Chains A and B, each alone.
Chain A
Amino acid sequence: MNRRAFFATATGAAICAPFVASPAHAYEEQVRLRELYNNDMSFTDFALEQEGKRVAIEGFMAPPLKAESQFYVLTNRPMAVCPFCSSEAEWPNDILAVYAKRVVDVIPFNVMIVTRGVLELGTYTDPELGFVSRVRVVDATQERV
């Protein structure tokens, strides 16, 4: 409930004042996605320290779940779609859900990108997509590395 309120605020703020939330990139910690998770899928100290702060996370944009969306999934390695590995849409554990500032221009799944935005921790179910995430970057922008 709180989280949804936060989203409304964050999105609203972004629309009204798109340039407000753009601190110089040099001040953000830029790390690989794997820096957020330990092997047992607990959050790293880095993730806990950066909660609520702006971060820059390197990873790969998984093929989007739906077109013309502000939502995508960042993966640690390119998300191979393997007919022999998984019979249905099956995500690795170490992913990051991204809620972008605006509709996302799709970047191929095997091109490394950096996603910048505010780090959120804790389980959240997307009311529209039903996508359950444990960690998110919101108010995000992304570009090729």
Chain B
Amino acid sequence: MFQRTIVTAMAMTLCASTAIAQDLPQASSEYFTAAQANLEAAIAREPNTNQATNIILFVADGMGVGTNYGIRLFQGQQMGLLGEEHNLVYDLYPNTAIIKTYNINAQTPDSAPTAGAMNTGVKQVFNTINMADTVVHDDCSTESPLRLFSEMLSDAGKSVGVVSTARITHATGAAVYAKTANRNWEDEAPEGCTDIATQLIEQMEAGVIDIALGGGISAFAPEGTELAVGSGGRPDDANLIERAQAAGARFVYDADTLAAADAGAPILGLFSGSHMSYEYDRPETEPSLADLTAAAIEQLEGNGDGEGFYLVVEAGRVDHASHGGNAYRAFTDGVAFAEAVALADEMTDDENTLIIVTADHEHVISFNGYCGRGTPITGLCMGVASGQVEHSGEPALADDGMPYTVVSYTNGAGSVLVEQEDGTYAGSRPEVTQEAAMDPDYLQQALIPMGSETHSGVDVALWAKGPWAHLFGGTMDQEMIFHVMNHAAFGAAE
């Protein structure tokens, strides 16, 4: 009966559904009215079948559904909210999908083949980038390169940009322009293969890549060369910065030189020796991810041909912070990522710009219970209070009588099992105060001892808006991202 009424109400449009609402005792609840408003928006929504002039692919490295949840609460709490009710800017995008992330030969993926899948439309081999499924990791002679989305778009007259807070030669960024049997060949490769930094400059010379902004300057100049930031580390004597400049690219290396760069020619921006800083540690001279994203959009739009662009933006260090077992930096870099998405969204038009926000893989992060509303997401799990709304202020206790943090990692450097003098591992859960847990340098308790916390094979989410974003839905394989982008850019015109 109720079910049928709902169906009828929906068929009869909004007025009827509002009428139903008024009859229910819960109808005046804010939760109810907010959900009704969202329902109205969903009913009114129409698919955007325009051809996509611009496509922006945002990838937060290592930000699966769990990590995204932590970032959401962290930003909400920074804003003075309890946290749970908050939404990150892309949480509200109309189209979402659950994304499977496995690699051809790995249940637990790494960032190279996952980003490669997004850029080629096929799954790839663990630790390789943009090679056919016959490639053998680390074997130069087996390289069999695929064709990239960036190359297809460049041929169609579009501009292409890549931005990352990791080294620009690191997996996710590299997958936009490079093809390699080993993701670690960033500054040197065996005879017959080409290192990733050199491939970037080749793609700039070929006109495929117009803008590359990130860290990792050391891969672009010979060992010992003094550079604007850091020094060179290449084993050969190639100065790739000079080579890019000779090909007409402008070189920028800090927030000021980035801001001063005019639109037009290609830009190579390298802002640190290796990875750029975590947002929490970032000096003012280093641009933020939002700064980099805005500069890239301005430059790509300023290319002036009106053909549009493809831009990939990676928050590379959400991943690194979790590898280090430090949720605070994972969440602060995640907030910086959300700010970059928000800015890109403001600078572009939903009518002609497809924005996709996703991750390459998840980590072994988990969230303990039962915590009350507003429990600080990087702190101790506080009890649920009877009477509403906020938590009790008293830490929940485990069976050992001690409190525990909301976040923990299943493995990693925060392990409670510590190496003993005889080489065995032993230990117990230390007592943690709220002050210690909330410290930005705190490592959440972990179980399995490992020098570096690992990725997880768990699904990630994808959020999208703009032309053909409605093609995303349900549970999808990661390579579908390429296929939807490809359709949005080319298929719609056919």
A and B are interacting partners: yes
Interface of A toward B, CB cutoff 8 Å = 32, 34, 38-41, 76-78, 80-87, 90, 94, 108-111
In the complex, what's the smallest C-beta–C-beta distance from A39 to chain B, in angstroms? Answer: 5
Asked if B186 is an interface residue, CB under 8 A from chain A, the answer is yes
Interface of B toward A, CB cutoff 8 Å = 110-111, 171, 184, 186, 274-275, 277, 281-285, 319-320, 323-326, 412-415, 418-419, 441, 443, 451-453
- The one of A34, A78, A87 that contacts B324, using a Cβ cutoff of 8 Å: A78
Contact sample, A vs B, 6 pairs, CB 8 Å cutoff:
A78-B414, A80-B413, A85-B319, A85-B452, A94-B281, A109-B451
- The one of B184, B320, B414, B419 that contacts A108, using a Cβ cutoff of 8 Å: B419
- Asked if A110 contacts B452 (CB within 8 A), the reply is no
- Asked if A90 contacts B274 (CB within 8 A), the reply is yes
The answer to whether residues A85 and B284 also contact, given A76-B441, A78-B413, A111-B418 and a CB cut-off of 8 A, is no
- The one of B186, B325, B418 that contacts A80, using a Cβ cutoff of 8 Å: B325
- Asked if A82 contacts B323 (CB within 8 A), the reply is yes
- Asked if A78 contacts B320 (CB within 8 A), the reply is no
A38–B274 CA distance with the chains assembled, in angstroms: 19
A111: chain B residues within 8 A (beta carbon): 418
A84: chain B residues within 8 A (beta carbon): 110-111, 171, 319, 323, 452
Further contacts, 20 of them, CB under 8 A, given A39-B284, A83-B452, A110-B414:
A32-B441, A40-B284, A77-B443, A78-B443, A80-B324, A80-B412, A80-B452, A80-B453, A81-B452, A82-B324, A82-B452, A84-B111, A85-B275, A85-B319, A85-B320, A87-B186, A94-B281, A108-B418, A110-B413, A111-B418
A77: chain B residues within 8 A (beta carbon): 324, 326, 413, 441, 443
- Asked if B320 contacts A87 (CB within 8 A), the reply is no
A85–B452 CA distance with the chains assembled, in angstroms: 10
The answer to whether residues A39 and B452 also contact, given A78-B325, A80-B323, A110-B413 and a CB cut-off of 8 A, is no
A83: chain B residues within 8 A (beta carbon): 452
A86: chain B residues within 8 A (beta carbon): 274
In the complex, what's the smallest C-beta–C-beta distance from B282 to chain A, in angstroms? Answer: 7
> Which 5 A-B pairs have CB atoms at the shortest separation, nearest pair first?
A82-B452, A40-B283, A78-B413, A81-B451, A108-B419
In the complex, what's the smallest C-beta–C-beta distance from B107 to chain A, in angstroms? Answer: 16
In the complex, what's the smallest C-beta–C-beta distance from B196 to chain A, in angstroms? Answer: 11
A41–B419 CA distance with the chains assembled, in angstroms: 32
A86–B169 CA distance with the chains assembled, in angstroms: 12
Closest A residue to B183 using CB positions: A84
In the complex, what's the smallest C-beta–C-beta distance from A63 to chain B, in angstroms? Answer: 8
B171: chain A residues within 8 A (beta carbon): 84
A82–B275 CA distance with the chains assembled, in angstroms: 13
Residue picked from A32, A76, A82, A111, most chain B C-beta under 10 Å: A82
- Asked if B320 contacts A82 (CB within 8 A), the reply is yes
In the complex, what's the smallest C-beta–C-beta distance from B314 to chain A, in angstroms? Answer: 13
A90–B273 CA distance with the chains assembled, in angstroms: 10
